[in-house]
């Protein structure tokens, strides 16, 4: 079956540091890949997505590239801010399934210190 593995947290960084949160997946076919962010007290929000190999999703300074050869979708940001503190979830939706539910990783709690 489908699965998503992401690095466990918490990840603590200083402001303006470089961020990488690793995410790898197991799936048949060509899934769509997502990063969601959950700020304290709020619901999950889509951060970025990629729907095919070599696609790069980007938003708010965050980027992730769909790497089929390594089955990875690592999240990166060049310079983090305190406001980026949140829980980040990597997720996939199986190919051809617009109506399918998502398979999530366990989430990575990111803490940015001033």
Partner 1 sequence: GAVVSQHPSWVICKSGTSVKIECRSLDFQATTMFWYRQFPKQSLMLMATSNEGSKATYEQGVEKDKFLINHASLTLSTLTVTSAHPEDSSFYICSARRGAGVGPGSYEQYFGPGTRLTVT
Q: Which is nearer to partner 1, 42 or 69 (CB)?
A: 42
List the one residue from 23, 103, 110, 112 that touches partner 1 (CB under 8 A): 103
CA distance 78 to 63: 9
**Which listed range, 19-27, 57-65, 70-78, 97-105, lies at the site for partner 1 (CB under 8 A)?**
97-105
CA distance 99 to 104: 16
Q: Does 89 bind partner 1 (CB under 8 A)?
A: yes
Q: Does 108 bind partner 1 (CB under 8 A)?
A: no
Q: Which is nearer to partner 1, 36 or 73 (CB)?
A: 36
**Least Cβ distance, residue 102 to partner 1 (angstroms):** 7
**Least Cβ distance, residue 15 to partner 1 (angstroms):** 26
61, 12, 40, 104: CA torsion to nearest 10: 70
DSSP string, 58-72: EETTEEEE-BTTTTB
Q: Report the site for partner 1 in 18-47 (rule: CB under 8 A).
A: 36, 41-46
The residues that bridge with 33 in the sheet, in sequence order, are 50, 92
Residues in CB range of 41: below 8 A, 6 or more apart: none
Binding site for partner 1 (CB under 8 A): 4, 36, 41-46, 89, 98-107
């Amino acid at each position: 079956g489908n699965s998503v593995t992401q690095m466990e947290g918490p990840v603590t960084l200083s402001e303006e540091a470089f961020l990488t949160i690793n995410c790898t997946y197991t799936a048949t076919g060509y899934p769509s890949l997502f990063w969601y962010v959950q700020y304290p007290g709020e619901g999950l929000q889509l951060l970025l997505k990629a729907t095919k190999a070599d696609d790069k999703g980007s938003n708010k300074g965050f980027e992730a590239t769909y790497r089929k050869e390594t089955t990875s979708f690592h999240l990166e940001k060049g310079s983090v801010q305190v406001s980026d503190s949140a829980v980040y979830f990597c997720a996939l939706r199986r190919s051809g399934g617009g109506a399918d539910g998502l398979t999530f990783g366990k989430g990575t709690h990111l803490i940015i210190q001033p």
